[in-house]
Chain A
Amino acid sequence: MTETSMTGAPAGRVDEVQSAYMQMTRRKRMYSGIMLVVFIALMASGFIVADDRNAGGFWDGITNIFTFPGEVLSEAGEKIALLPALMWEFLPSLIETINIAAASTLLGAILAIVISLLSTRGLARWPRLIPLFRRLMDIMRAIPEIVIALVLIFILGGGPVPAMIAIALHTVGALGKLFSEVNENASLNPVEGLQSAGASWSQRMWLGIMPQVAPNYLSYALLRFEINIRASAILGFVGSGGIGYDLKNAFSWGQGRYDEVAAIFLLLFGTIVFFDQLSGYYRNKLIGEG
Chain B
Amino acid sequence: MTTLTQDAPGTVPDMMRHFRRKKVQAFSVPAVILAYFVYVFFAFDIPGLADRARLDNARILVADSYSHKTHITRDNRTGGITMAVEGENKGTYPEGMSPDWVSKQGEDRAVVTLEDGHEVVIDGPTMRYDVPGYGVIAAEVSRREGVQLDLPEARVPDWISATSSRVDITTEAGRVTLTKARTEVMRYQFGWELFWFTLDSPFYGKSFFELAGLAFSGERVVEGRSNIAAIAHDIWNNRMWQHKDVMWAVFETILMAFLGTMGAAMLALPLAFVAARNFNRLMPVRFAVRRFFDFVRGVDALIWTIILARAFGPGPLTGSLAILLTDSGTFGKLFSEALENVDNKQIEGVQSTGARPLQRYRFGVIPQITPVLLSQLLYYLESNTRSATIIGAITGGGIGLMLTQAIITQKDWEEVSYYIVLIILMVMLMDTVSGWLRRKLIQSDAGGV
A: which residues have CB within 8 A of B?
24-25, 28, 39, 42-43, 46-47, 49-51, 53-58, 61-62, 64-65, 67-69, 96, 99, 102-103, 106, 138-139, 142-147, 150-151, 154-157, 159-161, 164, 230, 233-234, 237-238, 244, 247, 251, 265, 268-269, 272-273, 276
Q: State A39–B265 Cα separation when bound (angstroms).
A: 13
Given known A50-B259, A56-B312, contact A147–B44 (CB-CB < 8 A): no
B449 near A155: Cβ-Cβ < 8 Å: no
The tally of CB-CB contacts under 8 A between chains A and B is 181
> Is B108 close to A, CB under 8 A?
no
Chain B residue contacts of A272, Cβ below 8 A:
298-300
Q: State A151–B400 Cα separation when bound (angstroms).
A: 13
Q: State A25–B424 Cα separation when bound (angstroms).
A: 42
Q: State A161–B307 Cα separation when bound (angstroms).
A: 28
From A71, which residue of chain B is reached at the shortest CB distance? B310
Q: State A24–B43 Cα separation when bound (angstroms).
A: 67
Chain B residue contacts of A55, Cβ below 8 A:
312-315, 396
A230 near B302: Cβ-Cβ < 8 Å: yes
> Is B276 close to A, CB under 8 A?
no
Given known A68-B311, A106-B36, A155-B61, contact A46–B258 (CB-CB < 8 A): yes
B52 near A159: Cβ-Cβ < 8 Å: yes
Main secondary structure of the interface of A (DSSP, over half): helix
B256 near A50: Cβ-Cβ < 8 Å: yes
Chain B residue contacts of A62, Cβ below 8 A:
311
Chain A residue contacts of B416, Cβ below 8 A:
151
Chain B residue contacts of A57, Cβ below 8 A:
312
Q: Can you report 14 residue pairs joining A to B where beta carbons are below 8 Å apart?
A: A42-B258, A43-B263, A53-B317, A61-B317, A68-B310, A103-B36, A144-B427, A146-B389, A151-B407, A155-B57, A156-B54, A159-B44, A230-B300, A238-B394
> Is B303 close to A, CB under 8 A?
yes
A54 near B314: Cβ-Cβ < 8 Å: yes
From A107, which residue of chain B is reached at the shortest CB distance? B37
Given known A139-B424, A154-B57, contact A237–B302 (CB-CB < 8 A): yes
A143 near B423: Cβ-Cβ < 8 Å: yes
Chain A residue contacts of B306, Cβ below 8 A:
247, 251
Q: State A249–B308 Cα separation when bound (angstroms).
A: 18
A142 near B427: Cβ-Cβ < 8 Å: yes
Among A56, A139, A276, chain B packs the most CB atoms within 10 A around the CB of A56
> Is B364 close to A, CB under 8 A?
no
B312 near A46: Cβ-Cβ < 8 Å: no
B400 near A146: Cβ-Cβ < 8 Å: yes
Chain B residue contacts of A49, Cβ below 8 A:
255, 316
Chain B residue contacts of A46, Cβ below 8 A:
255, 258-259
Chain B residue contacts of A154, Cβ below 8 A:
54, 57, 61, 407, 410
A268 near B303: Cβ-Cβ < 8 Å: yes
Q: How far is the CB of B247 from chain A (nearest CB, A)?
A: 13
B36 near A157: Cβ-Cβ < 8 Å: no
Q: Which residues of B in the span 428-449 have a Cβ within 8 Å of any Cβ on A?
A: 428, 431, 448-449
Given known A50-B320, A54-B318, A142-B427, contact A238–B393 (CB-CB < 8 A): yes
Chain A residue contacts of B390, Cβ below 8 A:
144-146, 234
Give me the 3 closest cross-chain CB pairs, A-B, nearest first.
A55-B313, A54-B315, A56-B313
> Is B229 close to A, CB under 8 A?
no
Contact of A28 among B57, B294, B449 (CB under 8 A): B449
Main secondary structure of the interface of B (DSSP, over half): helix
> Is B55 close to A, CB under 8 A?
yes
> Is B212 close to A, CB under 8 A?
no
Chain A residue contacts of B431, Cβ below 8 A:
138, 142
From A234, which residue of chain B is reached at the shortest CB distance? B302
> Is B286 close to A, CB under 8 A?
no
Beyond the given A25-B449, A62-B311, A150-B393, please list 17 additional residue pairs across the A-B interface where CB-CB is below 8 A: A42-B258, A50-B316, A53-B315, A65-B311, A67-B310, A68-B307, A144-B423, A155-B57, A157-B54, A160-B44, A161-B46, A238-B393, A268-B302, A272-B298, A273-B298, A276-B294, A276-B298
B259 near A233: Cβ-Cβ < 8 Å: no
Chain B residue contacts of A238, Cβ below 8 A:
393-394, 404
Q: How far is the CB of B287 from chain A (nearest CB, A)?
A: 15
Given known A150-B404, A161-B46, contact A156–B302 (CB-CB < 8 A): no
> Is B420 close to A, CB under 8 A?
yes
A147 near B300: Cβ-Cβ < 8 Å: no
A99 near B298: Cβ-Cβ < 8 Å: no
Contact of B317 among A50, A68, A230, A276 (CB under 8 A): A50
Q: How far is the CB of A92 from chain B (nearest CB, A)?
A: 10
Given known A46-B259, A64-B311, A106-B33, contact A144–B389 (CB-CB < 8 A): yes
From A49, which residue of chain B is reached at the shortest CB distance? B255
Chain A residue contacts of B410, Cβ below 8 A:
154
Q: How far is the CB of B340 from chain A (nearest CB, A)?
A: 15
Among B255, B294, B448, chain A packs the most CB atoms within 10 A around the CB of B255
Q: Which residues of B in the span 108-154 have a Cβ within 8 Å of any Cβ on A?
A: none
> Is B58 close to A, CB under 8 A?
yes
Q: How far is the CB of B417 from chain A (nearest CB, A)?
A: 9
A151 near B61: Cβ-Cβ < 8 Å: yes
Q: State A214–B395 Cα separation when bound (angstroms).
A: 40
From A51, which residue of chain B is reached at the shortest CB distance? B317
